[in-house]
Structure 1
Amino acid sequence: MNRTLVANARLAGRDGLHDIEIDGDRFGRIAPAGELAGETLVDARGGLVSPPFVEPHVHLDTALTAGEPRWNASGSLWEGIAVWSERKASLTREDVISRATEVLRWYAANGVLHVRSHVDVTDPGLVALDAMLEVRDRVADVIGLQLVAFPQEGICSFDDGPELLEEAARRGVDAIGAIPHFEDTREDGVRSLEIAFDVARRYGLLLDAHCDEIDDEQSRFVEVLATLARRGGLRDRATASHTTAMGSYNGAYSYKLQRILARSGINLVCNPLANLCLQGRFDGYPRRRGLTQVKEMLGAGVNVAFGHDDVMDPWFPLGTASSLQVALVGVAAAQLTGTAEIDEAFAMVTGRAARVLGLGDRYGVEPGRPASLVVLPASSPYDAVRRQTRPSHVIAHGRLVAETPPSTTRLTWPGESPEDIDFRRDRDRGRPSDA
C-alpha cells in the first residue's frame, strides 16, 4: 500500500505543525512535523489543514439556469418557483448532467467534497432525478453526493405528489423532502410532513424539508417537523432547511421553540446568500433580514449549518460554489462577529454541516478515516474566513485532485520599495485577540 505525507500542517486545536500520513485512501498516523517517514504528497508549509468543506443544501438540478427562460424580475421566491416551472418543461438528461457536473467541479476546486442536493420530483417523468442519480455515481471517486427527493410544488397540493415521492424513494434517493409552507392549506402542510416522515421511515432514509421559507410569522411548521422527528425516533437524521419565518417570530414563541428544537435533536440549515435576497420582498421599511435565528439556536444547543441553496439559478443569479463565501456572508447576516463565533461559522461549513449529512466517522482528519482534506494558506479558521483563502491543495480519498497556485499582489507605495501584499494582519501573522 502506498503511503504518503501531508507535511508541516497546522491543525485547529493542536499546537505546532504536524505530519499526516495517508495510507492508500485512509489517514494513518498523525505526529509532530518531522517524526514520520514517507514521500511528501503535499507540503502544507504551515497552512491550515481541515476536513473538506461540506455543502448541506444546494439545488444542482436548477444550477446555471439563471435567465432561462426569463429572469426573476421581482427577485421573490414565488416568481423563482414560477420561472423554474417553465424551465422544467425543457429538461433533458444531458442538460441536467452537464450543469450539475460543472458545478460539482467548482465545488471540488473549492475543497467541497461532500454535497447534499435537493432534486425536484414534481415532474411525472422524474427526468432530473434520474439524471442526478447518474451524476452521483459518476462523481463518487471525488465527491460524496446525497440526493433529496424535493417536491418543489408540494406533496398534497400537487397531482400524484405522494406517489412521486414514493417512486423517488424506490429509485434510490438518500433523503426525503417536503415544503409544507407551500401547500394549499395548513392542514395540507402538516399532512405533507406526515407523508414525508412515513416514506423516510419505511425506506430507512434521512429527511430534509424546506420549512417555513416565508416571511409569514404564522408559518410554524418547524415545530411540527421537530415533534415528528422526536416522537418517531428520526431525531438528528431530520433537518429543517431555511426556516426564515423565524426572523419574524415574537420573543415568547422563539423561547418556546428553542426548547422544542433542542429536545428533538434535529438540524437546521441556514442559506444566507439566497435568503437575504429572496426574503423581505414584500416589505417596505424596516425590511426583514429573512434568516433563521442562527445565534439563538446555536446557543440553545441546536446544530446549525450554512448552505448555498442556489448557484446561478432563478432564485439567486450569482455564486462560485465557495463555502468560505457562504461563511463570510453568514457571519455578517447572523451577526457572528466575535472571533469564536467566526470560528463557529467555519464549523458551519465543515463539521456542523457534516453532522447534517450524517457523515459520522466517514469525515474528519483522524487515523482510519477517509483521507480527504483541504490545505488553506491561513493560520486559523478565522483567518481563512476573513481573507477568503482558496485551498492550495484538495485531497480526495488519498488523491490530489485540485491545486491553486499562490496569488500575490505587488504594491508600489510612494517613497517605498515594491512589496507583496497578502492581507494578513501584522508581521507575526497571528490572529487578533478577542479584545
Structure 2
Amino acid sequence: MHHHDSALSRLVRSRGTVFDLFSGRNNSLGLLRLLLASAVVVSHARILGFGDREFGYAFSSGQIDLGSLAVFGFFVLSGLLITRSGNRLPVGRFLWHRALRLLPGLWVCLTATALVVAPLLYWRQHGSTAGYWQHPQGPLAYLRANWAIGISQWGISGVMETAHAQGLAFNNAFDGALWSLKYEVLCYLGVALLALTGSLTRARRAVLAVTVLLGWLVLSDAIGNRYMSGALAAKHGGPFDVPLMGALDVDWVVYLGFAFALGSLIELYKERVPISDPLAALAAATLLITLSYGYFFAIGVPAYAYLLLWLAIRLPRPLQKVGRTHDYSYGIYIYGFVVEQALATLGGARWGFGAYLGLALGGTLIVAMLSWHLVERPAMRLKDRGRFHSVVRADTAPQPVRQRPRRTGSEAPAEFRCRSRPLHDGRIDATGSSTRPYAPHG
C-alpha cells in the first residue's frame, strides 16, 4: 500500500498548483492561441483550396481533424480565461468587455467581406458589378442578416456559387468560420448567469455538476457509437432558437460546452490542480491513444485540456512574450476563411498546396495585424468607459501569487445546414463544407 502511494505521489509530484504558477501575463497563452488559429487555417487549406479531407481525419479514424482539434483547444482556454474574468468583474462590465472583444472585429470583417472582397471577385467573374448590389442575397442583406452573432446568410450575390461552378471553389460560404461564435457567446452567458449568484467561486460545485453531466452525455455517445463519436453522431435534440443568435444545435452545445466547462473548472479549482510533468506526459499519451483508438471526446478532451494548461505554464519563458502585447489570433480566425476563399476563387490552387497555404497564411496574418491595430485594440481601450465602469469586486479581487523557492530546471456547411453542422466525413457538395468555431480570449 505504501509502495502504491509512493508511485502515485511521484506521478502527481508537482511544481505547484495552477494558483501558484498561472499568473495573468507570465504564461504562453498568446503563443498557444496563435498556433491554434493558424492550425485552423492550415486545416481549411486542404478543404477550401483542393476539396480534400482535412489533416488528422485519417489518423483519428474520422473522429476529428486538425481544425476541430484547435477549436476544442480554443474553447478550453476560453473557459479558463472567461471564468477568471467573470469572477473578477461585475456582470455588466464583464458582458461589456466580451462584447468589445468580439463585435467590433466581427462587424469590420463582415463589412470588408461584403463591400470590398466580394464585389472585387464578382467584378472579376462578370466584368461588372452591376448585378452585385441588386442581388437578393447581396451585400446589404448579408450585413443585415449577420450583424448579430448568429450567422444566417453565408453567401453574397452568388460569388462563391459561380466559383464552384467554375471548379475553383468547394464551399459556398464566404466566412464559414463564423458559424460557431454563437456557441462561444452562449458560454459567456452561462458564466454571467452563474456570476449573478455573487461569486463564481461559490458556485463552483454547480460548474462541477454541469461538467460531469456534459461529460456523461459525451461518454454515453462514445459507448453508443462504438467509441468513435462526436457532435455529428450525437442525437441529443434538434436546434433551439435564441434571440439574435438564431438556431443553436443541442449537440454542439454539449460538446463545445464540455470543453469550455473543463477550462472553467481548472480556474475555479486552481488551488487543487497540480502542474506536474509526469501528469502532462500521461495526458499527452492519453490524447494520442484516444485520437487513434477512440473515446477522444470523452477521455481525450480532458487530457487535452490539462496538456494545454501545462504548456501555457511550462513552455520556456521567452515564448511567453509571443502574443502578450499584440494578439492576432482572433483576426487570423475570422479572416482566414475569407482569404482562403478569395485565393481559391482567383485560382490560387493551381500553384500547389505549399504556395496556396503560404499565401493564405501570409495574407491572413497581414489582415489580422490590421484588424488588431486598427479595430480590436482601439475597441478594447473602451473597456473602462461608460456605464459599466466599476472597480473589481472586493470578494473576488486577485490575490498575490505565492512565491515558492526557485527550482532547478525549466520554469514554470459538405453543408451548412440550419443546424450549423460541419461535415463529419469530409465530403464536399455545392453548398459548403466543414468549418470550425473560435473561442476568443479573456
Q: TM-score, normalised by structure 1?
A: 0.24
Where relative contact order (Cα < 8 A, 6+ residues apart) is larger, the structure is 2
Q: Relative to total residues, which structure has the larger strand share, 1 or 2? A: 1
